[in-house]
Chain A
Amino acid sequence: MRRLRRFFRTPEAIAGALILGLLVAMALAAPLLFPGDPQAIAGPALLPPFQDWSLPLGTDRLGRDMLAELFHGARTSLAVGLAAAAAALLIGAVVGTLAGFAGGLIDEVLMRISDAFQTVPSFLLALAFVSIVGPSLGVVVAAITLGVWTGPARVARAEVLSIRERDYVAGARVIGMHPLEIAFREVLPNALPPVLALSSVIVAAAILTEAALSFLGLGDPNRVTWGGMIAEGRAVLRTAPYLSIVPGIALVLAVLGVYLAGEGVVESTAVRRSLP
C-alpha cells in the first residue's frame, strides 16, 4: 500500500498509469466491443471522422472501421510488447547469470556473442529474421527479442559479479549445493531488481519496433497493427492524412504511458530522492 501511494505521488506516474490502464482496457475490450473481423468492410470508403456516429473515427481506404482497428491494434501492440519484453528479460537474466557466475571462458564467449548482437543494428536483424522465416506474431516477437536481450544480460551479469562474492553464496557452496542450483536459486533472484527496472524501456522499444516492422509490411498479415494502419493511410496522405495520424497518436500515447509508468516505478523504489 505504501509503495502504491508513493508511486502515485508524481503527476507523471499518474498520467502513465492512466494511459496504460486505458491501453489495457482497449486491448481487453476489443473483442467485446468490436466482435468479428476488424479487417472487414464496415461502411463507405474514406469516411472522415465524426460524421457517422456508428463509425466515430470514420473508415479507411477499404471502408474498414478505424475505431475497431484502433482497438484491435492496441491488442497486438500490447501483446507483442509484453511477450518480447518477457522473453528478453528471461533470456537476458539466464545468460547474464551464467556468464557472471561461471566466469572464465563461458563468460568470455557469452559476452562476445552479446557484443555481436549489439553490433548489428537490431532493426536490420529483425527485418532479416522476419523476411527469412516469414511474418507471424510469434516470429515478430522472436525477431524483436533478438535485438533487446543484450541489455538485461549485461545488467544481470554485472549484478551477479558482485553477488557471487557474498557470504551466503559461499555458505551455499559449503553445504554442497550444485553450482547451477546456487546460480539460479540463490544468485539470480537477488540479481533481478535492476534487470526488471529495464522492463519499461524494453516494452516501449518492442512496441516501436513492431510498429516499424508492420509499417514496412512485415507484420502479421492476419492482425491489425497500428504500424500497418499508418502504412495503409500513407497512400492517401495528401487527401486523408488523419488515417495515418490517428494510429500514430495512439502509438505515441502508448509508448509515453509505458515510459511514464516505468519512471514512476523507478522513482518510487529508488532510495535516492529527487534533487535537494
Chain B
Amino acid sequence: MQIRVGVYICKCGTNISENIDIDELIQFSSRLENVAYVKDQPLLCSEDGKNFLASDVAQEKPERVVIVACTPKEHEKTFRNTLLRADFNPYLFQMVNVREQVAWVTADKAAATEKAKAYIRAAVKRVTLHEPLEKKEIECNTDVLVIGAGPAGMEAALLLAKAGRKVYLVEKNSFVGGRVARYEEVFPKMECASCMLEPKMDEILHDENIELITSSEVVEVLGYLGNFSVKIKKRATCVDKEKCIGCGACYEPCPVSVRNEFDYHLSDRKAIHVPYTGALPNVPVLDQGHCLRFAKTDSAMVQEALDLGLITQEESENYKKQDCTACQEACMFDAITYDRQDEILERNIGCIIVAIGFELFDPSVLPQFGYGKIPEVYTGLEFERILSQTGPTGGKLFMKNGQEPRSLAIIHCVGSRDKKHKEYCSGVCCLYALKFARLAEKHAPGAKIYDIYADWCVPGKDNQEFLDSLKEKKNVYFIHTNLPLSVAVKQNKDSLSVSCVDVSGKENPLAADMVVLCPAIIPARDTSRLSEMLLITSGRDGFFAEGHTKLAPVSTNIEGVFIAGCCQGPKDIQGSVAQGAAAAGQVLSALVPGRKLELDVIIAEADENSCAGCMTCIGLCPYKAIMFDKEKKIAVVNTVLCKGCGTCVAACPSGCLTGKHFTEEQIFAEIEEVLK
C-alpha cells in the first residue's frame, strides 16, 4: 500500500549545499518508494522556512514527512511544532541529519552525497512505519509532603502554606525544630536559638494549611510527580493532643527513669515525657519501648534498654512488666489512653521535599580522642546540651562531677578532611567551635580554653570578625596543627591531658578538664532508606545528590522530589533555610493548581496477549515503572513513570514490549536501508 511521504531538504544556507549535491538528492529521493514529492528550501528553520513548511504540508497533505537537515537535537522540536500548526501529527515525521553527520564531516562531495542518500533511504523507509502518537495530559495533585521539621523543612512548609498549598509535615521526633532545638545560641551574633526558632515553630503549629504529623515516618512512596501516594507510620504516643494541655502532671508519678536521648543520655527522663521544657508541640509522649505496661517480655525490654545504655544493670532490677496506670491517674483531663496502636496514615500529594538533616560522625572510631571511654570527652552536640538552659545542667557549664571546668580543649576536624574517614570539610565546625569558646568563656570565667584547629574555614558575613574578636581574648589559646590532627587525649588520675603537635612540630602537652570534639557532619541515618524508597540517588559521601551542583541544588534525579538542608550536604542554618525556600519555589512552579501535567509520549508499552510474565523487565526498569499484574500474570507499564529509555524493550524475551517511536520494525528497517 502506498503511503504518501513528503521530503523536505534544507540547504542550511550553504552549510549543507556546499558539501552535498542537493539536485542529486532530490532526484534520488523522488525515485524512492512511497515518496510523493521532494522540495528544497534555503533555510527551513527560519521564519520563512517554517511558514513554507506549515502551509505546504497543509496543502500537500502528505501522510508522512521527512526533513533532511541538521541534528534533531537542534530542530526536531522546532519542526514538530511547525507540523502541528499544519494539523499534522508530529510523530509521523522523521529527521535526517546530513549536516553534523555528513556535510561537516565528510570532505569528499561525492562520498557525502552517497552517504546522505543512504540516510534518506533509511528515513523514508522508517517513517512509513511510524504511528501517530498523541500527547496526554493528566490531572495532578498540588499538595506537598515535607519530610523533616528542622529549619529547612519548616521554611519550606511555611512558604508553601502561605501560597495556599496543603502541606503534610512529617517529623520522626515528637517535636519540631530539628537539631537547632538543642542549641542555646547560634553563631556569629550569638542570638538566642529558641527565641529565633519559636515564632516559626508556633506558625507551623497554627497554620491551617499545615498538617503536622510528629512521631512519624514515611514508610511507602508510590507514584510520580503530581500523583504520589504515601504511607506514613505514626507511632502510638497514647496521649490525646486535643485533650492534653501540657501541664506535665503525668511525668512525676512515672516509675520508669531512662536516659534522655534528646540530651544524648546526659540527663534522665520518664517513660512519659517531653524531650525538653519548651518542646513544641507541648504534648508528652508515652515511650512504649520503656513503659512497664508495654514491655513485650521483661527480659527483652530490659536487655534492649541495657544495650542502648539507657539503664544500668542495677537499675534493670526495677523493670518488671506491670499494669502501671500512674500517668493516667495523674492526668486531670483523661488525655492518656493505653489502647492506642501505631497507625498508618495515607496521603496523596504531588511533590515531596526531603529535609531530614544530619548526624555526627562517631568519634569513638578514632580512639586517640578518647570518646566513649573518657567521661569528660564530649561531641559538639552533647556540649550544646550542656550549654542549654533546658539541658542536663540547666545551662551551667559543669562537668559530670558537678564542678565548673578550669580548662577546656576544643578539637576541630574530627573525622573531617581525613582521607581515611570523611574527606570533605563539614563547613560549620570552625564557627561553632568559636561559639563554644565564647560561651565557655562566659560560663566559666577565667577558664583556659584551647582551640586546636588545622585551618580556618569561616567564609560569609560577620564570621571573620567573630574569629578575630576571639583572638583578642586572653584566655583563649589557638593551637594550629597539621592534618590529620596529631592529638591524643589521655585520662590521668584526676584530670585529662591533651597532647598535640603544632605546625612547627612542637609538642604541646595541655591539661584540660573537659574536651569537646567537632566531628564530621554525616548523612542522617534515614538517608539510605529514603534514597531507596524515593529512588533518589546519593553522592559519594552518602548525602542526597542534587540535580546539578551549581544550577539545580535542590532538585534530584526524580521529578517532583526535592532536597533541602543538611541532607544535601553540610551547611549552616542560614543555608538550610535558603534551600528550604528554594525547594518551596521549585514545588510552586512544578505544579500549579488547575494546570495539567503533560506526559512523555515516547514510552514502552506491553502487549498483554504476548507477555509471558517472566518479570525480566521489572527488575531492569530504573524508574520502577513496570508493575506485575498478579491476576493476569503480566507486566504493566505505568505510562506516567516510564521515561522511554527502552532498556526493558531490548531485554523482553517474548517481544511483548514495544518502545514507541523506536519499535523493532522501525529500527530494523533503518538498519537495512542504510546498509543497502
The answer to whether A binds B is: no
